[in-house]
Amino acid sequence: MKKRLPEKDRESPIGVFDSGIGGLTVVREMRRLLPEEDILYFGDTARLPYGSKSPELIKRYALEDASFLYERGVKIIVVACHSASSWALAEIKSSFPVPVVGVVEPGAKAALRATKKGKIGVIGTRATISSGSYERALKEKNKRVEIVAQPTPLFVPLVEEGFLNHQATRLICQEYLKVFFPEGIDTLLLGCTHYPLLKPLMEKLLPKKVKIIDASFETASEVERILRENNLRKKRGKGFLKIYLSDITPEFEKVAERFLGERPSAIFRATLREYQR
């Protein structure tokens, strides 16, 4: 962890990737916490979503995404996609000589700090839940914690369509969350970057005592810590944000603003090496 990189690397950008634009919720938190830092974001909108695809394919896509960032000289790689963090983190860590941060570990740590009864619920895409990555991350730190995991695949399209307060979303939310009621969880981990936008609705539907953990915020804190400990923090200036997408539609730009909380100033079309025939 304490690899000392050359001084100049402090000025290098942070690299973040996701299957699409949901990872911008992590960027949003980083922009607040690390306003001096430059950020390169890659969203693989040409092949999204990852959450319904197979582990082998997610691994291949994630390595290509990480290469795209690494070739642009980033000082740290943030895997802001729960499906990729669940299936490909070890491969990315062993493939690139920079620190690599996923979204699973920081969320799991925060959930363990929050829980009193040791009963934690986890929601995510099919790929994330079936990976068992959250169970592993939680159990590794506390063998006695009880975990209830539930895939909630309709949340991503509902969020992308802006159905945040719709009665249909409330019904689907009720259906998905009912598994947690007999279990008596006191902490719910949001295992997907899209889900923080449904947090207000979930708070209404869950018992008051249930604390909701947003992995996007926790991941940004973890990035701050790693940069600080490795003496990689940029100290001055106002950081830029460059967004690369492998496919661009007007909808992506609109939704990007919703996730980011600001209007993105620069969106570029990116060509993965795979696409260069």
Known catalytic residues?
Answer: 81, 192
Contact of 230 with 204, CB cutoff 8 Å: no
51 labeled part of a ligand binding site: yes
> Could you please report the per-residue DSSP string of 226-262?
HHHHTT----SS---EEEEESS--HHHHHHHHHHHSS
Residue type at 21 in one-letter notation? I
User: How far apart are CB 43 and a second copy at their closest, in Å?
Assistant: 13
In sequence order, which residues have a C-beta less than 8 Å from that of residue 164 and are 6 or more positions away? 158, 197, 198, 200, 201
12 labeled part of a ligand binding site: no
- Which of residues 164 and 172 has its CB atom nearest to a second copy in the complex? 172
Omega before residue 250 within 30° of 0, cis: no
Interaction of residue 168 with a second copy, rule CB under 8 A: yes
User: How far apart are CB 65 and a second copy at their closest, in Å?
Assistant: 14
Q: What does the block give as tokens for 215?
A: 């992995």
- Which of residues 19 and 219 has its CB atom nearest to a second copy in the complex? 19
In sequence order, which residues have a C-beta less than 8 Å from that of residue 245 and are 6 or more positions away? 21, 42, 43, 45, 46, 252, 267, 268, 269, 270
Q: Which of residues 104-123 bind a second copy (CB under 8 A)?
A: none
Contact of 79 with 89, CB cutoff 8 Å: yes
* Whole-number Å distance between alpha carbons of 107 and 130: 17
Interaction of residue 52 with a second copy, rule CB under 8 A: yes
Interaction of residue 161 with a second copy, rule CB under 8 A: yes
52 labeled part of a ligand binding site: no
19 labeled part of a ligand binding site: yes
Interaction of residue 251 with a second copy, rule CB under 8 A: yes
Which residue in 12, 25, 45, 83 binds a second copy (CB under 8 A)?
Answer: 45
* Whole-number Å distance between alpha carbons of 143 and 148: 14
Q: What does the block give as tokens for 67?
A: 């290469």
Phi–psi pair at 268, nearest 5 degrees: -120, 150
- Which of residues 48 and 185 has its CB atom nearest to a second copy in the complex? 48
Q: Is 13 helix (H, G, I), strand (E, B) or coil?
A: coil
Interaction of residue 274 with a second copy, rule CB under 8 A: yes
Which residue in 9, 11, 47, 242 binds a second copy (CB under 8 A)?
Answer: 47
- Which of residues 130 and 221 has its CB atom nearest to a second copy in the complex? 130
Site stretch for a second copy (CB under 8 A), options 43-51, 77-85, 197-205, 231-239: 43-51
Interaction of residue 54 with a second copy, rule CB under 8 A: yes
Interaction of residue 167 with a second copy, rule CB under 8 A: yes
Binding site feature residues: 18-19, 50-51, 193-194
**Chain residues in the site for a second copy (CB under 8 A):** 45-47, 52-54, 57, 126, 153-154, 156-158, 160-161, 163, 166-169, 171-172, 175, 247-249, 251, 274-275, 277
Binding site feature residues for substrate: 18-19, 50-51, 193-194
